């Protein structure tokens, strides 16, 4: 029973047109030196993948990328 459910889930995960919603997150941290010594940037990209069935034959898959950025201690000249 558990093996059958795991196999069905694995099949859905391998199919990009399945009806599963996934929300991958990507985090990056950068720290700078030189003229920007002490400056840092935190980036979090939220990338939800959401499929919608329009009809039995048509599906729409949306993948929006929402960046959240937090940066500190850049000199004003570097911001131009």
In this predicted structure, what is the pLDDT of residue 80?
52
pLDDT of residue 46: 96
Q: Helix, strand or coil for residue 29?
A: strand
CB 68 within 8 A of CB 44: yes
Distances (CA, A) of 23 to 42, 46, 63: 19, 7, 9
pLDDT score recorded for residue 37: 79
pTM, to two decimals: 0.62
């Amino acid at each position: 029973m558990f093996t059958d459910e795991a196999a069905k889930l694995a099949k859905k995960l391998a199919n990009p047109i399945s009806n599963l919603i996934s929300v991958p997150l990507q985090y990056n941290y950068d720290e700078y030196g030189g003229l920007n010594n002490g400056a840092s940037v935190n980036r979090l990209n939220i990338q939800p993948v959401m499929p919608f069935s329009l009809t039995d034959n048509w599906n729409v898959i949306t993948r929006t990328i929402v960046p959240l950025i937090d940066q500190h201690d850049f000199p004003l000249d570097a911001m131009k």
